[in-house]
Structure 1
Amino acid sequence: MARVLLVEDDDAIRTSLTKALTAAGHVVTAVAGGADGVAGVARERPEVVLLDLGLPDLDGRDVLAMVRAVSDVPVIVATARDDDASVVKLLDAGADDYVIKPYSSAQIDARIRAVLRRLGTDQQDVTVDVGPLKIDPRSREVTLDGHPVELTRKEFDLLLALSRRPGAVVSKRELLAEVWGLPWGGGDRTVDVHLSWLRRKLGETAAAPRLLHSVRGVGVKLAVLEA
């Protein structure tokens, strides 16, 4: 199972969830505030963070940003808002998954296992070579023309998803489901923004693409070039 850092200010929820996740086999460290949560990420080295957004000392979104500044640990956020715009903003800010309040401990356990399963699958893959582009899912390192490319977690996941189908057009719906865990439409802007950031780091633009080619109304493809 997993080392879990639970950041939740409600005493009853924190206690019951800690007991339930421990019974499910997880090792849980629980804290009540955002500042303790950020410190806990550095100190405990958790495999998953469960983050409530309604904290007394810091806004949960600020805590998420602080965690993302120091770690790529998967973060599952708990929120009371279930509209698409709010969820997409959370995922864009670096959350790996989310649950809507009220939730059950069984839901949380399932989300933890799903996040770890996705990461475990990536880490078992061999290096992907697409012409001058090399992607190592185990070390999460990318090189282009022999030079390292620094990517965020989502940028890396997006590039890896495209690299698994080189030369094929992948729809934005497919990318939303595979990279962001959103099996519905309505988040195309999320894909567009991350593609823009990814293109910039790969040294290209939408107007002058080298590797990432958009097909209007269909999706995007990773071009196969000579190494």
Structure 2
Amino acid sequence: MAKTLLIIEDDGNIRELLRLYLEQEGYTVESASDGAEGLRAFKRIHPDLVLLDVMMPQMDGWQVIKEIRAISKTPVIMLTAKGETFDKVSGLELGADDYITKPFEMREVIARIHAVMRRFDDDDAPAKLEYDNLIIDKESYNIVVKGQKMEIPPKEIELLYFLASSPNRVFTRSQLLDDVWGFDYFGDTRTVDVHIKRLREKLSGVSDKWELKTVWGVGYKFETKN
């Protein structure tokens, strides 16, 4: 069954261009011209991925993604025009999975959509990892800490799962960007630092048998202790 994408974009030309190219790629495409309409469409069609413009009438992209994240973990790629004030870190903290700057090439858009879809559909690795006081279930995108489910954004779950699936192995920030965000992600390494910091805050004091450890000058690892 074809994946359904929702485009929420107030520029009709961009909206139509995206629709034509993505339908050629085999996606079913729905679209909306403002944030409020887009949110209604999201609740109606339950898309597999959202392309979301930042600056829009009625309701901007920041508010839309807040509303989406309150009810769903559906991947969201933010669209922003060059020159607009766009805090990448804020976008990631709100739950965006990626961002694209306009003007963009359609090859880049399609590559990023494919990369995000791959990460959400990856069934090759074991679905569940278990450590002391911690269960990471990538299949259901759940984290269980001391028997209680913890609300953590999808990208933080993916990063924690990736590190914990290779305990005690050190990964550079660039490796983590490639493996967790995808080889075609154009963000900088600060993205990794932000997500690690937020995970540490949430998992502080959970166990003395493992930790997210910084290896200075290199990167990060999920360190287990005897």
TM range, smaller chain: 0.7 to 0.9
CA-based RMSD: 2.9
- Structure-1-length-normalised TM-score: 0.82
- Quick check: 1:223 aligned with 2:206? no
Structure 1 equivalent of residue 140 of structure 2:
139
| Secondary structure of the structure 2 residue equivalent to 1:211 | strand
Listed as ranges, the matches of 1:17-56 within 5 Å are 17-56=18-57
Query: Identity over the aligned pairs, expressed in percent?
Result: 37
In structure 1, runs of 5+ residues without a counterpart are none
Unaligned ranges ≥5, structure 2: none
Please report how far the alpha carbon of residue 153 of structure 1 lies from its aligned counterpart in structure 2 after TM superposition. Answer: 1.3
Quick one: structure 1 residues 63 and 183, their matched pair in 2 at CA, closer, same or farther if it must change by over 3 Å? closer
Mapped contact 2:209–2:225 kept (Cα < 8 A)? no
Worse-superposed segment, 175-184 or 107-116: 175-184
Cα distance between partner residues in 2 of 1:107 and 1:218: 29
* Equivalent residues of 2:209, 2:224 under 8 A apart: no
Question: In structure 2, what is the equivalent of residue 91 of structure 1?
Answer: 92
Q: CA distance change for structure 1 residues 107 and 171 in 2, over 3 Å: closer, same or farther?
A: closer
1:213 aligned partner: 213
Q: Distance in 2 between matches of 1:56 and 1:86?
A: 19
User: Do the aligned partners of 1:212 and 1:221 also contact (CA within 8 Å) in 2?
Assistant: yes
CA distance in 2, matches of 1:72, 1:185: 21
Instruction: Report the AA paired with residue 213 of structure 1.
Output: K
Q: Which amino acid aligns with 2:53?
A: D
Q: Is the 8 A contact 1:131 1:225 kept in 2?
A: no
Closer, same or farther in 2 for the Cα pair 1:122/1:36, shift >3 Å? farther
- Matched length: 222
Superposition map of 1:84-123 within 5 A: 86-121=87-122
The one-letter amino acid paired with 1:215 is: V
For residues 165-184 of structure 1, the aligned pairs below 5 Å read 165-181=166-182
